[in-house]
Amino acid sequence: MEASTDAGPSGTALEVLYTDLDGTLLGPGGSLFAASGGGSTGEAAAALLTLREADVELVLMSGRTRRGLHEAARVLGASSYLAELGAVLVVGDDEPLEDMGAFPGPGRVADALARSGVAGLLLERFPGRLEPVAPWTEVSVMFQGLVDVVEVEAALTEAGFGWLSFRDNGRLRRELPSLDVPEVRAYHLLPRGVSKATAVRRHRELRGIAREATAAVGDSLADLEVADVVDRFFLVANGLEAIGDTPLPPNARVTERPHGDGFAEAVRSMLGR
């Protein structure tokens, strides 16, 4: 894919930057200081300081759980964050907001998923290719492995779970001896209509922030969707593999460098520093 060189800035001062965490702001192994290919880098940390000095609000967007993001947000200086691919939104000190998407109710999504047996259905349908990830979640069910998402969603619809979506959240840099797959990817089973993009739009509306004053950085297809609801979007270089042949929207560009160094490159581009 040929990278776009124009992120289509509006000229409005940046007020909010939404950023993915793993694979974007953080380097290999989930470290802020790990450089791609080995070694160390302080560029992402310096970029966070630049944002703070410029009074730009930092918002994390991740597939991690709310519990997993809470401390990261505090340490990194993020005022708000969206967890489980946008299923849970935390704005400042307010109570968490759940996006139930196409969930028909009643009750909570997590309780309905636990009662339904849908996770077991997928594990039986795709033996040796999927396994559950056990962290505490509020809306989604997390899996790892390697499957055809279209095939999984067809199986869900056939079994009466058409209100659910199976989302690919990118490649994991690990091997799983328990699965017979050549690579490992992260997946979320969650209500259809839930996404990072919908959560970003909701955050903007709650905070009263114009689209023209926002930007986002990410490394996956789930992140690329956010380009539709912000003014500028930057895909860090290592995200090219994840998006494949998906075309870049007019307001998006690919950074020259990967991971945190790419994040820093995006910040410099947006703030002119």
The DSSP secondary structure of 80-140, one letter per residue, reads EEEEGGGTEEEETTSPPEE--TT---SS-HHHHHHHHTHHHHHHHHSTTTEEEE-S--SS-
Residues in CB range of 59: below 8 A, 6 or more apart: 16, 17, 18, 19, 78, 79, 80, 81, 82, 200, 203
Whether residues 145 and 114 fall in one domain: yes
Residue 84 resides in a domain = yes
Domain extent for 138: 109-191
Q: Are residues 202 and 77 in the same domain?
A: yes
Instruction: Identify the domain boundary among 142, 169, 191.
Output: 191
Structural domain contains residue 10: no
Instruction: Assess if residue 203 is contained within a domain.
Output: yes
Identify the pLDDT of residue 176: 86
Q: Is residue 3 part of a domain?
A: no
* 183, 201: one domain: no
163 in the same domain as 132: yes
Degrees to nearest 5, angle at CA 11 with 6 and 15: 105
Please name the residue that has the structure tokens 């659910």.
Answer: 164
In a domain, 1, yes or no: no
Q: Are 228 and 94 found together in one domain?
A: yes
Residue at a domain's end among 191, 224, 250: 191
The pLDDT of residue 93 is 87
CA torsion through residues 200, 248, 242, 52, sign: negative
Task: Give the residue from 86, 87, 85, 57 showing the smallest Cα distance to 73.
Answer: 57
Q: Is residue 4 part of a domain?
A: no
Residue 222 to residue 80: CA distance in whole angstroms:
19
Tokens 């996956």 belong to residue: 220
- pLDDT of the residue at 217: 98
Q: What does the block give as tokens for 50? A: 């630049």
Measured CA angle at 252 (ends 29, 272), to 5 deg: 85
The tokens 């899996």 sit on which residue? 143
Closest to 51 in 3D by CA, of 83, 87, 82, 15:
15
Tens digit of pLDDT at every position of the chain (273 positions):
334 334 444 567 999 999 999 999 999 989 999 998 889 999 999 999 999 999 999 999 999 999 999 999 999 999 999 999 999 999 988 899 999 999 998 888 888 998 999 999 999 999 999 999 987 788 999 999 999 999 999 999 999 999 999 999 888 877 888 998 999 999 999 999 999 999 999 999 999 999 999 999 999 999 999 999 999 999 999 999 989 999 999 999 999 999 999 999 999 999 986
Instruction: Specify whether 128 is located in the same domain as 175.
Output: yes
Q: Compute how many other C-beta atoms are within 10 angstroms of the C-beta atom of residue 234.
A: 28
Q: What is the pTM of this model?
A: 0.91
Residue 203 sits at the vertex; the CA angle it makes with 51 and 5, to the nearest 5 degrees, is: 55
Specify whether 127 is located in the same domain as 238.
no
Same structural domain, 165 and 228: no
Say which CATH number the domain at 242 has: 3.40.50.1000
Give the number of domains in the chain. Answer: 2
